[in-house]
Amino acid sequence: MIRLESLKEARRSTAADLAHQQCIRPACGRTYELTATPQRCDDCGALLDVVYDWEHLPVPDRLALFDERRASSRDPLDYSGVWRFRELIPFADLDKVLTIGEGQTQLRRTDGVGAYVGLAPGRLFLQYEGLNPSGSFKDNGMTGAFTHARMVGAKFAACASTGNTSASLAVFAGISGLLKAVVFVGSGKIAYGKLSQALDYGAATLQIDGDFDDAMRQVQEVCLQTNLYLMNSLNPFRLEGQKAIMYRVLEGLGWEVPDWIVVPGGNLGNSSAFGKAFAELLHLGLIDRVPRVAIINSTGADTLTRLVNGHGLRWNGGDVDDAAVDAFYAQMDAENRKAHTLASAIEINRPVNLDKALRTLEMTDGVVRAVPDEAILDAKAQVGAHGFGCEPASAASVAGARLLREQGVIGRDERVVCILTGHLLKDPHATVGYHSFAPEKLKEEFGGYGVNEARHANRPIAVRDDIEDILRVVRNL
Ligand code: F0G
């Protein structure tokens, strides 16, 4: 049996030669050095992957070997929920790894939410990524990107964000002091919890007069014209870190593969990373099948759903119908159609990782659905009532699982993992509004998003400062 500690020693001598970056389109396939920082392939404009020479890298022969790391968590690399799987993310020399203790998250069986989704007891699991240091799954990826930023000596880093990437970038920059963070956010477009993080952690915060899609376009241009290092999920090293979410899901299930992974889709970084994680585990013989991945949009930001379900867009072995995508975006612009959803984290109409998400769908026999904001907020209240809670975008996964159950796509006895991407406290306005607004106020504030009813509202109870009144309320609870 290979011990992990001996692997660690072996890794030290090998790192840089056994990984490179590569264009994901097989027809191009151009390679780049590990320390290069192109945003996309210089030749064909496609996305890039980090690719490993697995045959020459030491990898354990069973996933269960990673269990020993949990017992030795005094080592920061073992404590990290990302780097304790370092043999599966072997792009960095270990002394370059920058970790802030990300990935201490939990997979919880939640029968109450399972019943709401329509699953048999013991079949629904929630992966609480809101328990990360910055309160969202982004920290899994940010440790990867910061490690790479350290490898290339970056002094400034930038991202566009609907809020969580900026919070994560800001906290990593603040703790490490490695570089200065510059974040681009759509003015008035991000939830207060997230904006407060970027400001408090000291990031230069550019509020662009536009939405995420505008900010994303601008940040790419700024990074091209300056020496800013791009921290969005276009950066393949971000996605390397996010693979670890899937390793922890498998770990939480005793290294068994679930039937479904259900994940909200915004810029499509997570779904892209998950597909890569499973493709690699399968290649390495560490799993014998892959789960199906369901990507869930909000109906107010449903580019992927429209392209896949409406236009039949597919990865097609890497031969994506780019003309169909271009025509779709041209039409969107002609209609001036902007993303519009209360799930502000996924209020994105031009997902940069579209190609990689299509690849995930193909390799996992995945599906795509869009759910309305009303269903998202109802599902969110159910998650809250049975667990640690989540922000609206995260609950799209639960609402999506419920829809797929109703449609008979997911079976009642299948094992389903919904990824809860962000913490409840990120967006107090959505939560407090849902639970406390009177019907007219709810329509006024949220009606424009199609939210007209709060079926699972837990209303605060107004009571006079009078002991008799208070006792009457308490006795009637
Ligand atoms: N859930 C939350 C809480 C998010 O913050 C995001 C993305 C997503 C889901 C979607 O994930 O982009 O990988 O498909 N937030 C990004 C940001 C865009 O800027 O924080 P994805």
Whose CA is closest to atom 15 on ligand 1? 345
Closest ligand 1 atom to Cα of 163 = 20
Query: Would you put residue 108 in left (φ > 0), alpha (ψ -120 to 50) or beta?
Result: beta
Closest ligand 1 atom to Cα of 165 = 20
Claim: this prediction has a pTM higher than 0.85: yes
Residue 202 · residue 232 · CB < 8 Å: no
Q: Which residues of 285-299 are buried (b: 16+ CB within 10 A; e: fewer)?
A: ebbeebbbbbbbbbb
Closest ligand 1 atom to Cα of 268 = 14
Find the 216 Cα to ligand 1 centroid distance in Å.
13
For residue 304, how far is the Cα from the chain centroid?
Answer: 15
Whose CA is closest to atom 10 on ligand 1? 266
pLDDT tens string for the chain (477 positions)?
A: 345 655 554 444 456 789 999 999 999 999 999 999 999 999 999 999 999 999 999 999 999 999 888 766 789 999 999 999 999 999 999 999 999 999 999 999 999 999 999 999 999 999 999 999 999 999 999 999 999 999 999 999 999 999 999 999 999 999 999 999 999 999 989 999 999 999 999 999 999 999 999 999 999 999 999 989 999 999 999 999 999 999 999 999 999 999 999 999 999 999 999 999 999 999 999 999 999 999 999 999 999 999 999 999 999 999 999 999 999 999 999 999 999 999 999 999 999 999 999 999 999 999 999 999 999 999 999 999 999 999 999 999 999 999 999 999 999 999 999 999 999 999 999 999 999 999 999 999 999 999 999 999 999 999 999 999 999 999 999
Find the 266 Cα to ligand 1 centroid distance in Å.
5
Q: Which residues line ligand 1 (CB under 6 A)?
A: 136, 138, 161-165, 233, 264-270, 345-346, 391, 393-394, 421-422
DSSP-derived secondary structure for 409-476: SS-TTS-EEEEE-B-GGG-HHHHHHHHH--HHHHHHHHGGGT----TT--------S-HHHHHHHHHT
Closest ligand 1 atom to Cα of 265 = 14
Whose CA is closest to atom 4 on ligand 1? 345
Residue 33: count of CB within 10 angstroms of its CB: 10
Find the 284 Cα to ligand 1 centroid distance in Å.
29
Cα–Cα distance, 37 to 229 (Å, whole number) = 8
* Residue 236: closest CA among 38, 471, 440: 38
- Give the mutation target among 267, 348, 376, 383 for probing the ligand 1 site: most ligand atoms within 8 A of CB: 267
- 3-state SS, residue 219: helix
- Give the mutation target among 162, 208, 305 for probing the ligand 1 site: most ligand atoms within 8 A of CB: 162
Q: Which residues of 392-429 are buried (b: 16+ CB within 10 A; e: fewer)?
A: bbbbbbbbbbbbbbeeeebbeebbbbbbbbbbbebbee
